């Protein structure tokens, strides 16, 4: 379920306690969790909304909307269906949410691995890279180190790769605590820098 940075911050501080979505069937389960820009959230209840007219301003504000009319307009607009959220179906669901805790990747990216952990991380990255025809991990990390906080479109152009696959690759590295995403661009985390330094001591990298 797509959660914006503003809504995620509201769930974290407790001002947002629910979300509304148009789906054919619920796409989240009670007790399930999701990573957001403000940390991990949990879905505590999923209910079908049979009458949009009965949504109150208070309920809409608890979902981060200005008032009930604004929420109803968002739920009934004719924008294209999206597999990630938005209209997406013909039934409205209310999803109660709560904040669970910090993004574990934050602590991970600050943790400096020892040699044994670096070797284990390297083995994991080698396995990840083996699923592709060409190596990409060292190149991606090196480009981010040498071009910190460069907007992703420019970074993709510099690297000569497609934008969306590149961003998907960087998200995989972020999951391992190797990169940090900013509003504009990326940079290596302390963990990522430690790994790249270790890898280059083992075998200097050349893009040629």
CATH number of the domain within which 183 lies: 1.10.10.10
Domain of residue 36, CATH code = 2.30.130.30
- Are residue 195 and residue 122 in the same domain, yes or no? yes
Residues 19, 59 share a domain: yes
Which residues of the chain carry a pLDDT beneath 70?
78-88, 204-208
Tokens describing residue 132 = 């592709």
CA torsion, points 62, 68, 73, 75, in degrees to nearest 10? 50
What are 51's two structure tokens? 């009458």
Coil, helix or strand at residue 138: helix
Structure confidence by residue, pLDDT tens digits, 147-180: 999 999 999 998 999 999 999 999 999 999 999 9
Same domain, 116 and 77: no
Looking at the fold, whether 29 and 94 belong to one and the same domain comes out as yes
Domain that holds residue 185: 105-202
Same domain, 64 and 122: no
Each residue of 180-205: pLDDT tens digit?
999 899 999 999 999 999 999 987 65
Q: Alpha carbon of 112 to those of 124, 149, 177, 188, 194: distances in Å?
A: 17, 22, 10, 13, 7
pLDDT given for residue 84 in this prediction: 43
In angstroms, the CA 67 to CA 59 distance is: 8
Q: Is residue 92 part of a domain?
A: yes
Give pLDDT, residue 5: 92
What local confidence, expressed as pLDDT, does residue 206 receive?
Answer: 52
pTM over 0.85: no
Domains held by the chain: number: 2
Output the pLDDT for position 202: 84
- Domain-embedded: residue 173: yes
């Amino acid at each position: 379920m797509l959660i914006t940075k503003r809504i995620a911050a509201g769930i974290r501080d407790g001002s947002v306690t629910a979300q509304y979505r148009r789906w054919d069937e619920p796409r989240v389960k009670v007790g399930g969790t999701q990573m957001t820009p403000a940390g991990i959230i949990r879905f505590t209840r999923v209910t079908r909304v049979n009458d949009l007219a009965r949504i109150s301003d208070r309920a809409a504000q608890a979902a981060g909307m200005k008032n009930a009319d604004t929420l109803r307009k968002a739920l009934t607009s004719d924008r294209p269906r999206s597999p990630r959220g938005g209209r997406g179906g013909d039934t409205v669901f209310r999803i109660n949410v709560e904040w669970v805790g910090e993004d574990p990747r934050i602590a991970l990216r600050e943790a400096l691995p020892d040699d044994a952990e670096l070797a284990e991380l390297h083995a994991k990255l080698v396995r990840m890279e083996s699923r592709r025809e060409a190596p990409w991990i060292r190149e991606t990390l090196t480009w981010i180190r040498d071009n910190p906080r460069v907007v992703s479109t420019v970074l993709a152009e510099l690297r000569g790769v497609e934008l969306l696959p590149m961003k998907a690759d960087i998200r995989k590295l972020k999951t391992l605590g190797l990169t940090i995403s900013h509003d504009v661009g990326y940079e290596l985390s302390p963990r990522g820098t430690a790994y790249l330094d270790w890898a280059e001591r083992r075998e200097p990298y050349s893009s040629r």
